[in-house]
Chain A
Amino acid sequence: MQDAGRLLHDLFFDYTLRTVALGAMALGTVSGTLGAFAVLRKQSLLGDAISHAALPGIVLAFMLTGAKDPLILVLGAAIAGWIGTLMVMWIVRQSRLPEDSALGIVLSVFFGIGLVLLTYVQREPTAAQAGLNTFLFGQAATLVVEDVLVIAGLGSIALALVALFWKEFKLLSFDREFGGSLGIGMRRVDVLLTSILVVAIVIGLQTVGVVLMSAMVVAPAAAARQWTDSLGVMVVLSAAFGALSGVTGAVASSTTTGIPTGPTIVLAVTLVVVVSLALAPRRGLVWEWIRHRRNQRQVRTGAILTDLYALASQHADRAHGHPVAVLEAMGAKRGGVRRTLDVLQAQGLAKQEADDSWSLTVEGARAARAVIARHEGGDE
């Protein structure tokens, strides 16, 4: 408890921790927002290609300027990521290769080129080159105020553009043809949204790393999708999930030595996804399972009721008991007969006679007739 209080105190007053938390929150918000569109447009894996494609841009920017100015590195990353994206689109349009192959080609070849360039940088023992390695897995602890300003500045521009072109982006995601028929240049809107996605990805690279940044695009959005059917709510939720897991992961990794930030953030956001998949109202797997169980139980009690009713109607004495074995034989392989009978007895619909045989009560017979009537009604 004291630790938690201490952490909270540091979060506001410790310079490093505050910087890291703010940076991670900003990047989580932006990637969550843009990720919502990417996931809806089935571009989940484009993020993976963009973040890998950014590597040569980062290294080249560093080699050309010789400085680890965050704005310049981000700019280099954005240009390379953007070229990579255009290459993917070009390959898909001009050849018969499926999109996933095009993504894989751009991802691995750009990254390979980045590796070649990286060997040159690593040969120079400057202090700044150490920072470049953090781009692989991310190291939130290396964030300084300047980095956070770049993240927040570019992120704000990205968010402002999303707000400004909200209607166009919504059309693009759901009904591109309709947008085109309204006279909106959908191709230009597409390029704009994809470019903003590139920005959202490259500003997170230093914190989360090239390898795992794509998860920051996919996961918050996939989680948010479970809770709502409205784009507006989804975007806000996705941004919130992104920010939350960004802060959690970044703080956890910068207060524990030896844990890279990217994986920590990814695990945090994966947890959000798992909870969402399981518990989101209506769509959640747990509710789905409960619904399924309830249906099954209803079907089972209905079947036993009608079986008992059928047996009773062949007997002069309605109160005559019928053994469990007969009921089990009637409901071919249907298990849980005894349990269902107990449920029926508790509801006052069936009654246990001596020597483990069962009969319907008056209410039970009425209920059975209702079930039969419903079935016959359904058959018509």
Chain B
Amino acid sequence: MSAIDVEIQLIAVAVAVSCALPGVFLVLRRMALMSDAISHTVLLGIVLAFFVTGDITSPFLILAAAATGILTVALVEAVHSTRLVKQDAAIGLVFPALFSIAVILISRYAGDVHLDTDAVLLGELAFAPFRRLEVAGVDVGPRALYVMGSVLLLNIAFILTFYKELKLSTFDAALAASLGFSPVVLHYVFMGLVSVTAVGAFDAVGSILVVALMIVPPAAAYLLTDKLRWMIALSALLGATAAIAGYWVAWLADASIAGSIASVAGAQFLLAFLLAPERGVVAQAVHRSRQRVEFAQLMLAIHLLNHEGTPEADRESREAELHEHLRWRPDFVKRIVRQAERGELIERDGGGRLLLTPAGREAARSAIAT
């Protein structure tokens, strides 16, 4: 592994964790798509600031970008508050408009500078290590690593400092307001942080990967745990592993790094979605089928109890005829009978009839009683 490989992976991990941290709250606050909006509109801030300063590396660009991010949030809320359009439509109106202005400005007036719309959208992590940071003429490492490292520290500091406030305003905004926090101020500061993260990250990885890393790992973590702390930790872990695994997938397949990281994050999500304990699709299906089998055993026991000691008991308790009485498929009858026998709810007499055991009788009685 060369130094450049290591540097790219470090940058990727810093981006992934920086995005996952605020992403947790975006997902929980049902604002996931604001990340999509912001990661596009920050471009307008960058372009405008670039026209003013004429310097693509000016830190002023990051400030301007963060300001456009907040402007996006404010505009969406302003449009929504007219009550003329719904929230989702407001997002869908505001961000394409701002992004379009940015793209037109770039293609019209900045065609030959380092502001390529394709690169903005797609990102090319492989080039990140070539933009170095020099302090007093000494190369101290890739610029993106310092930018993202600072963003990461900022995010960690913010979440540690305002953890309680964030948690409260996420899960119970009304209570937060009544306790004297201002959810609105916190909200805008938080969205400012999302914007700073987006602009820092999309320079390195492109806006779509920003969306992927802000939403996908937290969404997967949300399916794996109920605790906010764990969700944050898991999101960071999933993001970091997706970054490293994605890098190597890209290396093996000789493909876009940003795209590979997004794909690996998608695969992680799919696994969590299918296999999460309790909440996963598989776990739920198993749970449902187990319930169905248990319910069917009880039905069988109740059926036998109903006819116990009656003249037709002989006919009603023959395994071969049960499917007609209970209207089940014969193979399902066979399966349920076997299960019930194993659970010692029923037993067979010699003549192919099923008899309730004392435990089975008790189970049927209590099921009827409830």
| Chain A interface (Cβ < 8 Å from any Cβ of B) | 39, 42-45, 47-48, 52, 91, 94-98, 100-105, 107-120, 133, 136-137, 211-212, 214-215, 217-219, 221-222, 225-226, 258-260, 262-264, 266-267, 270, 273, 277, 283, 285
CA distance A112 to B255 in the complex (A): 11
Whether A260 and B107, one on each chain, are in contact in the complex, defined by CB atoms closer than 8 angstroms, is yes
A31 to chain B, nearest CB (A): 12
Stretch at the interface among B84-92, B185-193, B338-346: B84-92
Whether A260 and B103, one on each chain, are in contact in the complex, defined by CB atoms closer than 8 angstroms, is yes
5 example contacts (A-B, Cβ-Cβ < 8 A) are as follows: A100-B31, A137-B117, A212-B96, A270-B96, A277-B82
Evaluate whether A45 and B88 lie within 8 angstroms (CB atoms) in the complex, with A100-B33, A104-B33, A259-B108 already known: yes
Q: How would residues 81 to 107 of chain B score, 1 for a CB under 8 Å from any chain A CB and 0 otherwise?
A: 010111011011100110111011001
Evaluate whether A277 and B122 lie within 8 angstroms (CB atoms) in the complex, with A114-B259, A118-B256 already known: no
Whether B208 and A115, one on each chain, are in contact in the complex, defined by CB atoms closer than 8 angstroms, is yes
Q: Give the size category of B's interface with A.
A: 35 or more
Q: How would residues 188 to 231 of chain B score, 1 for a CB under 8 Å from any chain A CB and 0 otherwise?
A: 00000000000000000000110110111001001100000000
B contacts with A: majority SS: helix
A contacts with B: majority SS: helix
Stretch at the interface among B265-273, B310-318, B329-337: B265-273
Residues of A within 8 A of B111 (CB): 258
Residues of B within 8 A of A221 (CB): 89
Whether B32 and A109, one on each chain, are in contact in the complex, defined by CB atoms closer than 8 angstroms, is no
CA distance A52 to B266 in the complex (A): 14
Q: A39-B86, A104-B35, A110-B266 are in contact. List 12 more A-B contacts (CB 8 A).
A: A44-B92, A98-B30, A108-B211, A111-B208, A111-B262, A115-B259, A115-B262, A116-B263, A118-B256, A119-B256, A218-B96, A222-B89
Which of B40, B88, B273 lies in contact with A95, CB distance below 8 A?
B273
Whether A112 and B261, one on each chain, are in contact in the complex, defined by CB atoms closer than 8 angstroms, is yes
CA distance A200 to B52 in the complex (A): 40
Whether A39 and B89, one on each chain, are in contact in the complex, defined by CB atoms closer than 8 angstroms, is yes
Q: Count A-B pairs with CB separation below 8 Å.
A: 202
B340 to chain A, nearest CB (A): 31
Q: How would residues 145 to 158 of chain B score, 1 for a CB under 8 Å from any chain A CB and 0 otherwise?
A: 00000000000000
Evaluate whether A44 and B88 lie within 8 angstroms (CB atoms) in the complex, with A105-B216, A115-B256, A270-B97 already known: yes
| Chain B interface (Cβ < 8 Å from any Cβ of A) | 27, 30-33, 35-36, 40, 79, 82, 84-86, 88-89, 91-93, 96-97, 99-101, 103-104, 107-108, 111, 117-118, 121-122, 208-209, 211-212, 214-216, 219, 222-223, 250, 253-256, 258-263, 265-266, 269, 273, 279, 281, 284
Whether A109 and B266, one on each chain, are in contact in the complex, defined by CB atoms closer than 8 angstroms, is yes
Evaluate whether A119 and B36 lie within 8 angstroms (CB atoms) in the complex, with A104-B211, A104-B215, A283-B84 already known: no
Residues of A within 8 A of B100 (CB): 212, 215, 262-264, 266-267, 270
Evaluate whether A119 and B259 lie within 8 angstroms (CB atoms) in the complex, with A108-B209, A133-B118, A277-B84 already known: yes
CA distance A44 to B92 in the complex (A): 7
Whether B261 and A101, one on each chain, are in contact in the complex, defined by CB atoms closer than 8 angstroms, is no
B280 to chain A, nearest CB (A): 9
Whether A267 and B82, one on each chain, are in contact in the complex, defined by CB atoms closer than 8 angstroms, is no
CA distance A305 to B230 in the complex (A): 66
CA distance A108 to B92 in the complex (A): 16
The 3 closest A-B pairs by CB, nearest first: A112-B262, A115-B259, A109-B266
CA distance A97 to B104 in the complex (A): 36
Whether A112 and B121, one on each chain, are in contact in the complex, defined by CB atoms closer than 8 angstroms, is no
Instruction: Kindly report which residue of chain A lies nearest to residue B35, judged by CB atoms.
Output: A104
Residues of A within 8 A of B255 (CB): 115-117, 119-120
Best-surrounded residue of A44, A104, A260 (most CB of chain B within 10 A): A104
Which of B27, B118, B250 lies in contact with A136, CB distance below 8 A?
B118
Whether B92 and A45, one on each chain, are in contact in the complex, defined by CB atoms closer than 8 angstroms, is yes
CA distance A258 to B106 in the complex (A): 10
CA distance A326 to B356 in the complex (A): 96
Whether A137 and B103, one on each chain, are in contact in the complex, defined by CB atoms closer than 8 angstroms, is yes
